[in-house]
Amino acid sequence: MTEETPLRLLLVEDNPGDARLIQEFLRDALPGDFHLEKVDRLAAAREALSDGKDGYVVLLDLSLPDAHGLETVRGVSEAAPTAPIIVLTGLDDETVALRTLQEGAQDYLVKGRLEGDLLVRAIRYARERKRLELERAELYQRAREAAAEAEAAALARDEALRIVSHDIGNSLAAVGIHARLLDRMLPRETRDENVSKRIAAIQQLVDQMETLRGDLLDVARIEAGHMSLDPERHNVGDLVSEAVELISEVADHQRVRLEFELDRDLPIIVADRGRILQLLGNLLGNALKFTPAGGRVRIGAEQVEDEVRITVADTGSGIPAEDLPHLFDRYWQARSSRRAGAGLGLAIARGIVEAHGGWIRAESEVGVGTTFTVTLPLEGPGLPNDQG
Ligand SMILES: Nc1ncnc2c1ncn2[C@@H]1O[C@H](COP(=O)(O)OP(=O)(O)OP(=O)(O)O)[C@@H](O)[C@H]1O
Ligand SMILES: [Mg+2]
């Protein structure tokens, strides 16, 4: 509906005096041709509007023989959702007139104060306002459809990932079992070191793929916003020591020294043990991966008010400042770093920390090292049934 389409007015007014006055104003003040139709009932107005003709501007008296007040406006906008409506009201019902704007009218004019110019301007503004309103509604509708489509696509992707991961998991388990059986079935006399090495390599690859499969599932869960936790009370010191123990063999092998800086009285924390070990494992794993032989990795833990702060600091390659903002994005890896892994560890680490109500951040200097700081609230995600 634009200014170029010939103006069609529908005057809905049952008072012949008012109707005549308005018609005169329009004739005097409206430039160019216009078409005016007059009815004196809501029913007649609805009929005129719903016979498919578009482009009407409705001048609507609020008290008609068959409708009154807001119901008149509702009746008209229902019959013609795209028609601009200007309400004509008596001197004493301006409060009602204001409410008609919420019901879909674009403007209102007080009858006792009408003049031609005012009427013409109101008509022009009402058309423009309605046009913008319809445009906005359409954009909103399109945005909603796009969001719904994106959500459906994400659900379909997660479902596909879940099914594929499940099948891959079954196959991986079978590969592992066959490798073990092969190992046992080989007669002693044909067994040589080479064969055993290869069987061990198969098993190691199965473990790696199983880890990747788990990481992909975790990232999908974090993305969907439902990482499930199994929170219980744990001593922070025990959790940290356990994580370090799991990694110490790798550290020895790489000749990287592991150092502790744990407060003596570390508190109890409500947390998912498996997930916290996974989080610390990811941070320690990275520290070892990016620290050359002869370097150090220091793990610290302290209580700060009602939070616990865990740091993992290494003397490794460091991360350029411009890379730090991307560090926790999934699949992100520094261009300069060795690309072992999938770039999921830190995205999962952040997902775990946030599911516990905490936060994680990184500080780094190229050539000096990197420090990750994790802060977890002691109450964490709370205990199931909130036993206190
Ligand atoms: N301690 C660190 N020192 C230097 N760079 C790091 C360190 N930790 C992470 N990075 C950089 O951040 C990237 C992303 O780390 P992230 O743990 O998410 O993935 P990844 O270790 O490459 O693979 P994955 O953890 O999935 O096996 C790494 O590839 C590396 O470039
Ligand atoms: Mg990693």
Question: Minimal CA–CA distance to 331: which of 228, 247, 220?
Answer: 220
List helix spans (H) across 225-256: 236-254
User: Which of the two residues, 243 and 94, has the higher pLDDT score?
Assistant: 243
Within 10 Å of residue 63's Cβ, how many Cβ atoms?
A: 15
Kindly list the protein residues that place their beta carbon closer than 5 angstroms to ligand 2, a single-atom ion: 286, 341, 345
For the record, the structure tokens of 125 come out as: 């503004």
Average pLDDT over residues 344-351: 96
Strand residues in 83-240 grouped as ranges (E)? 85-89, 107-110, 232-235
- What percent of the chain stands above pLDDT 90? 66
Domains of the chain from N-terminus onward: 7-141 (3.40.50.2300), 147-224 (1.10.287), 232-386 (3.30.565.10)
pLDDT at 2: 46
**For residue 250, how far is its CA from the centre of ligand 1 (angstroms)?**
17
Most informative mutation of 254, 337, 373 for ligand 1 (most atoms within 8 A of CB) = 337
3-state secondary structure of 301: strand
Task: Name beta bridge partners: 35.
Answer: 8
**For residue 176, how far is its CA from the centre of ligand 2 (angstroms)?**
24
Q: What is the pLDDT of residues 61-78, one digit of tens each?
A: 988 999 988 999 999 999
Q: Is the model's pLDDT at 147 over the cut of 90?
A: yes
Q: Is the model's pLDDT at 337 over the cut of 70?
A: no
pLDDT at 189: 79
Q: Is the model's pLDDT at 161 over the cut of 50?
A: yes
Within 10 Å of residue 198's Cβ, how many Cβ atoms?
A: 13
Q: Which amino acid is at 211?
A: T
Average pLDDT over residues 339-346: 86
Ligand with an atom nearest the CA of residue 297: 1
3-state secondary structure of 88: strand
Which atom belonging to ligand 1 lies closest to the Cα atom of 330? 18
Q: Is the model's pLDDT at 387 over the cut of 70?
A: no
Ligand with an atom nearest the CA of residue 212: 1
**For residue 162, how far is its CA from the centre of ligand 2 (angstroms)?**
22
Average pLDDT over residues 124-133: 93
Q: Whose CA is nearest to atom 27 of ligand 1?
A: 341
pLDDT at 242: 96
Task: Name beta bridge partners: 58.
Answer: 10, 85
Q: What is the pLDDT of residues 170-221, one digit of tens each?
A: 999 999 999 999 888 888 777 788 888 899 999 999 999 999 999 999 998 8
Residue 10 phi/psi, 5° resolution?
-115, 110
Q: What is the pLDDT of residues 5-23, one digit of tens each?
A: 678 999 999 999 999 999 9
pLDDT at 1: 43
Name the band, by pLDDT with cuts 50, 70 and 90, for residue 296: very high
pLDDT at 388: 43
pLDDT at 196: 85
pLDDT at 12: 96
Most informative mutation of 282, 312, 329, 333 for ligand 1 (most atoms within 8 A of CB) = 333
Most informative mutation of 254, 278, 286 for ligand 1 (most atoms within 8 A of CB) = 286
**Whole-number average pLDDT of the chain:** 90
